[in-house]
Structure 1
């Protein structure tokens, strides 16, 4: 897929993978509509992208806000006159076991991580269909392949993104719109530091949990973004980001029930 002079809409573009991917696409000549709940962060990414000689606009939108998402395609179309690529990247994290996490927090995560993907896809699909070649890129996770304890809400949302993406790809087969699902492994973003934790957890428990997750987040976002951008160019249906994601995918395929016993031994070492 030639990304030159295409227009990409990217959610969660203010930081982490979203920001890095925006700059990776801009480096390939792709114009950008950058979406984030933090409008100033989106604007900062837009300014950085403009230095790469592309057109970039910033849009302050909460992907859990139905009305705001419905209004967004008109704004993007007015600014860019087309949309060729939709990257559903925005996401949040929530620590704690199922019994520790309360219902409101569980629903909050699902509204963003999965509901946001569905809402943005529904809103932008009509515009994508007017392109000669378009693509929807949905960010799942390594936890959309394997399911560690303490991640019931997050894993549920990322498995939902994976299933939605595969079914949508089959429905859009033969059209101008392709679908990619991305499974990043441990990418060094702020998602662990910003994660919500169980409301009754002690400060020590919260800090210990964040440290345990943070030590697994090693790949620079720029490296992850380059892998994703190349996967988009190659029209890949499934994009695994990092050796940990590749290993997890193979292990889950070989031992779909027993893989966690193997991982526990590996993690123990």
Structure 2
């Protein structure tokens, strides 16, 4: 896919992988419709992207809102006239064991990380089909390849993203719309610090979780974005981001049931 002159819609653009991917696309001459619920961060990303000399629009969006997602294509068309790339990146995190996590919090995560992605795909697929070359990029996770303890909701959503993406790719075979599913490893974003935690979580446990996350989330968002954008340009069906993602993918193939017996021993102290 030649990105210069394409029009991309990107969710979760205010920070982290979303912001870095927006800037990487702008550097390649891609026009951008950026969406996020964080208006301050969104405005900052939009300004940085526009400084690259490409048209940029910004749209406050909660992907959990059916009405907001349904209205977005009209707003994007009004400013850009077409859409050829959809990057479903918006996501949140939730810690704690399944017994600790409230049902409302579990549903909150699923509504953003999975149902929001499906809503965006449903809303924009008709526009993507109108283009001679188009692509959907869905951000899953290494937790869409493996399922660690205390990540029941997050893993459930990211496995669902993976399955949805593969099935839809098969349905789109022979059309002008391609599909890429992305599995980032540990990327140094604020997602762990912004995660919801159980109401009864002990402060010491919270600090221990954050300390572990700091050790595991090491790849810069910029390097992650560079890998993602190269995958888009190469029309790849699957993109693994980071050496840890490649290792985890290989281990899961070798030990599809017992991988955690190895990974648990490799966790930082």
Smaller-chain TM-score bracket: over 0.9
Q: Tell me, what secondary structure is at the counterpart of 1:215?
A: helix
- Counterparts of 1:250-265 in structure 2, within 5 Å, are 250-265=250-265
The residue aligned with 1:122 is 122
SS of the aligned residue for 2:135 comes to: strand
Q: 1: distance between equivalents of 2:23 and 2:265?
A: 38
What is the CA distance between 1:152 and its match in structure 2? 0.5
Cα contact 1:180–1:236 (8 A) shared by 2:
yes
* 1:63 aligned residue: 63
The question of 1:172 aligning with 2:172 is answered yes
Provide, for residues 160-191 of structure 1, a one-character-per-residue CA deviation record: whole Å limited to 9, x for no partner: 00000000000010000000000000000000
Matched, 1:188 2:191: no
Which residue of structure 1 lines up, in the alignment, with residue 34 of structure 2? Answer: 34
Q: Distance in 2 between matches of 1:267 and 1:195?
A: 20
- 1:151 CA displacement: 0.4
| Aligned-partner Cα distance in 2 for 1:65–1:214 | 31
Residue 39 (structure 1) shift: 1.7
How far off is 1:41 after superposition? Answer: 1.4
Helix, strand or coil at the partner of 2:123: helix
Please state how far the C-alpha of 1:139 moved relative to its aligned partner.
0.2
Cα distance in structure 1, aligned partners of 2:265 and 2:61:
42
SS at match of 1:114: helix
Which residue of 2 is the match for residue 103 of structure 1? Answer: 103
Partner of 1:13: 13
| 1:63-105 deviation digits (Å, cap 9, x = unpaired) | 0000000000000001000100000000000000100101000
Kept in 1, the 8 Å contact 2:212–2:268? The answer is no
SS at match of 2:216: coil
Between stretches 188-197 and 36-45, larger displacement belongs to 36-45
Whether the aligned pair in 2 keeps the contact of 1:46 and 1:58 (CA below 8 Å) is yes
Report if the CA contact (8 A) 1:5-1:29 is conserved: yes
Question: 4+ residue runs of structure 1 moved beyond 3 angstroms?
Answer: none
Q: In structure 1, what is the equivalent of residue 75 of structure 2?
A: 75
- 1:268, CA displacement in angstroms? 6.3
Once the two structures are TM-superposed, the CA of residue 266 in structure 1 deviates from its matched residue by 2.3
Please give the TM-score of this superposition, normalised by the length of structure 1: 0.99
Normalised TM-score (structure 2): 0.99
Counterparts of 2:220 and 2:38 in 1: how far apart (Å)? 22
Which runs of 5 or more residues in structure 2 are unaligned? none
CA distance in 2, matches of 1:267, 1:199: 26
Q: Distance in 2 between matches of 1:134 and 1:35?
A: 19
- Residue pair 1:43, 1:57 contacting (<8 A) in 2 also: no
> In the TM superposition, what is the alpha-carbon distance from 1:214 to its structure 2 partner?
2.2
Q: How far, CA to CA, are the matches of 2:266 and 2:14 in structure 1? A: 34
For 2:239 and 2:127, how far apart are their aligned partners in 1? 24
Structure 2: how far apart are the matches of 1:228 and 1:20? 10
| Aligned position for 1:220 | 220
Partners of 2:24 and 2:199 lie apart in 1 by 38
Aligned pair count?
Answer: 269
| Separation (CA, whole Å) in 2 of partners of 1:40 and 1:260 | 39
